[in-house]
Homo-oligomer: A and B are copies of this chain.
Amino acid sequence: MHILKDRILNDSVVLQGNILKVGSFLNHQMDIALFNEIGREFARRFAGVPVTRILTIEASGIGIACITAQYFNVPVVFAKKNRTRNLSDDVYATEVKSYTHNTSYDVIVAKDFIRKGDSVLLIDDFLANGCALEGLADIVEQAHASVAGAGIVIEKGFQDGGSRLRARGIRLESLAVIERMSPEEGVVFAPGPQEL
């Protein structure tokens, strides 16, 4: 997706430790016109796939998921990061490790909002080690629903989240896959299958 890759090349900053700062357009300030292009592209890639619900995780997935939902005409559910030890019986929960913050937290979704038989499209801004997305897939399984696929804006292709999700049988569509990056070299993308 050229418009996205160009934006990453022009407006991101690579820091030491495999950190890519895209806060000017993706996950702090949000360019809604770009989000519409992203939503349209997810709809194109998942055309013909039944989707009854979109599931994302707070906070930075929410905006992309809401704009994308307009192209699927389905509701969005965002999983919450629960930092307390209290879990009620009316939620699905799974533990997710955060390597960024060297901690772990529970991801929860109210049972009312993922139903048996739902076909759930997972949406998130980043895929790196895949822990958050695996947590969302776990919740969908707990609900006896199915994962229609996962739509990711930026995949760090040099981390193993992508291969772990594909090994699990999840159809993964990442709009920009980074092959490698460094403060000196910047971002180098993996070749895309169909470039727009």
Q: Contact residues of A with B, CB < 8 Å? A: 23-24, 28-33, 35-36, 58-59, 62-63, 65-67, 69-70, 73-78, 80, 109-110, 112-113
SS class, residues of chain A in contact with chain B:
mixed
For the complex, what is the distance from the CA of A59 to the CA of B60, rounded to whole Å?
8
Beta-carbon contact of A28 and B78 below 8 Å = yes
For the complex, what is the distance from the CA of A80 to the CA of B24, rounded to whole Å?
14
Beta-carbon contact of B66 and A30 below 8 Å = yes
CB distance from A113 to the nearest CB of B (A): 4
Contact check: which of B24, B58, B113 meets A24 at CB < 8 Å? B113
Please state the number of chain copies in the assembly.
2
B-chain residues with CB within 8 Å of residue A69 when the two chains form the complex: 30, 32
Residue contacts A-B, CB under 8 angstroms, 26 given: A23-B110, A23-B112, A23-B113, A24-B113, A28-B77, A28-B78, A28-B110, A28-B113, A29-B76, A30-B75, A30-B77, A32-B69, A32-B75, A36-B70, A58-B58, A58-B59, A59-B59, A59-B62, A59-B78, A59-B80, A62-B62, A62-B63, A62-B66, A63-B66, A63-B76, A66-B66
Extra contacts besides A28-B77, A30-B69, A32-B66 (17): CB < 8 Å: A23-B110, A23-B112, A28-B109, A29-B77, A29-B110, A29-B113, A30-B66, A31-B75, A32-B74, A32-B75, A32-B76, A36-B70, A58-B59, A59-B78, A63-B65, A67-B67, A67-B70
Beta-carbon contact of B30 and A78 below 8 Å = yes
B-chain residues with CB within 8 Å of residue A62 when the two chains form the complex: 59, 62-63, 66
Residue ID in chain B nearest A23 by CB atoms = B110
CB distance from A53 to the nearest CB of B (A): 8
For the complex, what is the distance from the CA of A24 to the CA of B111, rounded to whole Å?
11
Residue ID in chain B nearest A30 by CB atoms = B76
B-chain residues with CB within 8 Å of residue A67 when the two chains form the complex: 66-67, 70
For the complex, what is the distance from the CA of A73 to the CA of B34, rounded to whole Å?
12
